[in-house]
Amino acid sequence: EGYCSPSGPIENTLCAYETIEELNKRLYPELHGIVESNFFRYWKVDLFRECPFWYENGFCMNRDCGVETADESHIPEKWRTKALSQLKVSDDPNLPPGCDINSQSFCYIDSESPSSDAQYIDLVLNPERFTGYAGESAHRVWGAIYEENCFGLSEGVVGGLAPAEERKAWAGSGKGAGLQGGFGNGVKNSLVAKKEEECLEKRIYYRIISGLHASISIHICADYLDQNTGEWAPNLQCFVNRIATNPERLANVYFDTVLLLRAIARAAPYLEAYDIETAQSKNDAVGIEADKKVREQLRAVLDMARDSGASAFDEKALFNGDDALELRDQFKHNFRNVSRILDCTGCDKCRLWGKLQISGIGTALKILFELDDKAFDPKRNPNLLQRSEIVALINTMHRLSESLYAVETFRKMYAETQRVE
């Protein structure tokens, strides 16, 4: 068996590790091209919102924590006009100012409206990598995010608790264990389920967050600053400490990958029709050519997500018990809280990528759990998703895909150390 090469079914999905490995060889180069395009590289975000939960200095002394904002002249005017006509900036005093949200949103999205404090960031100029942000502040943020896993399972409101046997099947130790386990059935008996057992939603929440955390760790290790030489390079020991010694973390990256692929496959009719043109005018031959290329790459990604069997995630198995609606609302509430906790991240670069990826995952959850198939008809529902959600979704897919790609590099590095010894 290869180093850090899981095999067999990915728990809670209907897909195998090997399928994702194979797919990623083709998926990663396409995604990599897409995120460098004009449409997908600019994302609007407010990085200066105060931490609402505790006092956070918010000032990382390390220069690698800094973020460069984009030159506004590169931003097509039509995005702003479209944003203005399309978005409702919430005036709810309980929400962070300048946020867009609707009842289906799993996270707060900074408004693309010119009146908001958010600024466009060029993601390509601010790559996610080692920043030196660590210690108490970082641990506090991660701790708070993991703690948002409470699904109010008070006695009598026990929606998601599945009977013990089902829970075991779901835990996925055996082959073929997947989401299609009939969790919704027998939920009424869940009052008798042992207290210490976690509900499905809680486990899924943990897997999603742990996969994101692991993916961020992989990027840190893949683009690591050697403080002695000043060189950026992959750091195998970093990967060993953070990921290889905890294989379930890597498994959770695969899980998130399947989740995102499934969401992209589902929203494909809508994404395919979305206006991603950025050419300045009919005479902008370079811009027109570049837009054409991105459209082709996007179509290739959508086809891969649809056809490969890699997006075999059965979302219908989640939130389908008697208390499905209540649990789904709690899940949504918890995710929204995560987007606020991220305002407490004391490193701008980390905050940027944390927010982007939570928005991407939030968009995937919205696509999977809030919308029915008919919703993705672009003619019927032209304003279903905001540009910002689409950019976050595709960039998050790219982050995950790049993590899996980096794992391949670490496998080779490890093999090399074995050969030398």
Which lies closer to ligand FAD via its Cβ, residue 334 or residue 345? 345
Alpha-carbon torsion, ordered 27, 33, 39, 41, to 10 deg: 100
Tokens 């998130």 belong to 256
Contact flags string 194-213 toward ligand FAD, x per CB under 6 A: ----------------x--x
Kindly state the greatest CA–CA separation across the chain: 69
* Alpha carbons within 13 A on the beta-carbon side of 175: 2
d(CA 10, CA 195): 27
| Angle between helices 285-307 and 387-420 in degrees, nearest 10 | 70
Contacts with ligand FAD by CB under 6 A: the residue count is 23
* 53 makes contact with ligand FAD (CB under 6 A): no
Contact segment (CB under 6 A) with ligand FAD among 131-139, 155-163, 267-275, 373-381 equals: 131-139
Which lies closer to ligand FAD via its Cβ, residue 39 or residue 205? 205
* 126 makes contact with ligand FAD (CB under 6 A): no
* 239 makes contact with ligand FAD (CB under 6 A): no
Q: Which two tokens stand for residue 164?
A: 């013990």
* 271 makes contact with ligand FAD (CB under 6 A): no
> Restricting to residues 319-348, which ones interact with ligand FAD according to CB under 6 A?
342, 345
Is 142 part of any known ligand binding site?
yes
> Restricting to residues 57-116, which ones interact with ligand FAD according to CB under 6 A?
none
Give the helix, strand, coil percentages of the chain, each rounded to 5: 55, 5, 40
| Annotation marks residue 350 as catalytic | yes
Provide the CA 370 distance to its chain's centre, in angstroms: 17
d(CA 153, CA 160): 8
Q: Which of 60, 261, 305, 350 binds ligand FAD (CB under 6 A)?
A: 350
Whether 22 and 392 have beta carbons less than 8 Å apart is answered as no
From 408, 356, 400, select the one nearest 260 (Cα to Cα): 400
Name beta bridge partners: 224: 233
d(CA 101, CA 87): 9
Is 63 part of any known ligand binding site?
no
Contact flags string 354-393 toward ligand FAD, x per CB under 6 A: x---------------------------------------
* 118 makes contact with ligand FAD (CB under 6 A): no
Contact segment (CB under 6 A) with ligand FAD among 126-134, 157-165, 261-269, 398-406 equals: 126-134
d(CA 392, CA 362): 9
Q: Which two tokens stand for residue 178?
A: 């997947």
* 249 makes contact with ligand FAD (CB under 6 A): yes
| Annotation marks residue 107 as catalytic | no
Which lies closer to ligand FAD via its Cβ, residue 19 or residue 217? 217
Is 242 part of any known ligand binding site?
yes
Is 278 part of any known ligand binding site?
no
Can you say whether residue 345 is alpha, beta or left, with left for phi > 0 and alpha for psi between -120 and 50 degrees?
A: beta
Contact segment (CB under 6 A) with ligand FAD among 90-98, 114-122, 138-146, 363-371 equals: 138-146
* 130 makes contact with ligand FAD (CB under 6 A): yes
DSSP one-letter code for 102: -
Q: Which two tokens stand for residue 151?
A: 């699904």
DSSP one-letter code for 89: B
Contact segment (CB under 6 A) with ligand FAD among 2-10, 134-142, 292-300, 307-315 equals: 134-142
* 400 makes contact with ligand FAD (CB under 6 A): no
* Alpha carbons within 13 A on the beta-carbon side of 388: 29
> Restricting to residues 143-172, which ones interact with ligand FAD according to CB under 6 A?
none
Q: Which of 70, 158, 216, 302 binds ligand FAD (CB under 6 A)?
A: 216
From 387, 274, 371, 317, select the one nearest 45 (Cα to Cα): 387
Q: Which two tokens stand for residue 74?
A: 């590169």
* 404 makes contact with ligand FAD (CB under 6 A): no
Is 37 part of any known ligand binding site?
no
**What is the separation, in whole angstroms, between the first and last Cα of the chain?**
19
Q: Which of 142, 232, 274, 414 binds ligand FAD (CB under 6 A)?
A: 142
Q: Which of 61, 124, 134, 164 binds ligand FAD (CB under 6 A)?
A: 134
* 235 makes contact with ligand FAD (CB under 6 A): no
Residue numbers annotated as active site: 347, 350
Residues within the interface to ligand FAD (CB under 6 A) = 128, 130-131, 133-134, 138-139, 141-142, 210, 213-214, 216-217, 220, 242, 249, 342, 345, 349-350, 353-354
Enumerate the known binding-site residues for FAD: 129, 131, 142, 210, 213, 242
